[in-house]
């Protein structure tokens, strides 16, 4: 698990491509990295398979991950957001991020708001249904708060605000219309949907129906 608080921006040193998977080499200066560690690379959880000089690392990217994220666009010199896995026991800033991309979104509009940037994104409605105003979302691994959300036909659109601190510490300051990003919605919405449509409540297995008034009455609510 991750928090969506980027530790540093790394640079892709090289991408070694094969038919089955890619090996991505990343330059960074992490001082505590070992083989098998999980590191979120622009929001995608990858496993360290090689150690590079001065804290860099290499990770394998499967064909499935390439198909479902923006990592297929990586080239030598590309800047990426990096975060090592969360250590339990400390304060949790940001929000819980799994590093599993739900959809590739697209920047629709960028507008200056004082020293901040307002950015609108568009993505499939199948994922957009989990996005709520004032809720959390991870964009290229960065934990952000949703300002507004709208449903437009089969798609959804939403906006976020990038303060100067976020612009300076991540790759998001370079966003422009048409740029693709990795989007991970908040885990909570997906769990709630699953429980309401297929799960059990109060320890009682119920029929395969949505949570309704009749069921609540039956359970004593």
pLDDT at 210: 59
Tokens of 92: 């949790």
pLDDT at 199: 58
Q: Are strands 155-162 and 116-124 parallel, antiparallel or unpaired?
A: antiparallel
Nearest-CA neighbor of 87 among 145, 165, 27, 32?
32
pLDDT at 31: 86
pLDDT at 193: 79
Numbers of helices and strands, H then E, in the chain: 5, 14
Placement of tokens 């394998």 in the chain: 60
In the chain, the domains with their CATH numbers are 8-84 (2.40.30.20), 103-192 (2.40.30.20)
pLDDT at 93: 82
Q: Do residues 141 and 6 make contact, with C-beta atoms less than 8 angstroms apart?
A: yes
pLDDT at 129: 93
Q: Split the chain (221 residues) into runs of 10 and give each run's mean pLDDT.
A: 95 94 96 94 97 91 95 97 87 86 97 97 95 96 97 96 97 98 90 72 52 72 71
Nearest-CA neighbor of 120 among 81, 78, 155?
155
193 phi/psi in degrees, rounded to 5: -60, -45
**What is the enclosing helix (H) or strand (E) of 112?**
strand 103-113
Nearest-5° Cα angle at 142, 136 to 148: 40
pLDDT at 65: 96
**What is the enclosing helix (H) or strand (E) of 66?**
helix 63-68
Q: Are strands 142-152 and 116-124 parallel, antiparallel or unpaired?
A: unpaired
């Amino acid at each position: 698990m991750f928090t969506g608080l980027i530790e540093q921006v790394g640079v892709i040193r090289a991408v070694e491509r094969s038919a089955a998977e890619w090996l991505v080499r990343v330059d960074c200066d992490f001082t505590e990295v070992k083989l098998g560690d999980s590191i979120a690379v622009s929001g995608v959880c990858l496993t360290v398979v090689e150690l590079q000089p001065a804290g860099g690392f290499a990770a394998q990217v499967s064909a499935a991950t390439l198909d479902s994220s923006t990592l297929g666009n990586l080239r030598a010199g590309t800047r990426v957001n990096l975060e090592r896995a969360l250590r339990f026991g400390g304060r949790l800033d940001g929000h819980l991020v799994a590093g599993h991309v739900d959809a590739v979104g697209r920047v629709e509009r960028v507008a200056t708001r004082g020293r901040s940037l307002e950015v609108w994104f568009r993505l499939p409605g199948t994922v957009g249904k989990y996005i709520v105003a004032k809720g959390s979302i991870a964009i290229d691994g960065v934990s952000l708060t949703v300002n507004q959300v709208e449903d437009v036909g089969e798609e959804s659109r939403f906006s976020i605000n990038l303060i100067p601190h976020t612009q300076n510490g991540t790759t998001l300051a370079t966003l422009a219309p048409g740029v693709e990003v990795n989007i991970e919605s908040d885990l909570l919405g997906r769990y709630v949907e699953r429980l309401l449509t297929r799960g059990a409540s109060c320890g009682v297995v119920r029929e395969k129906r949505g949570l309704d008034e009749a069921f609540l009455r039956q359970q004593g609510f």
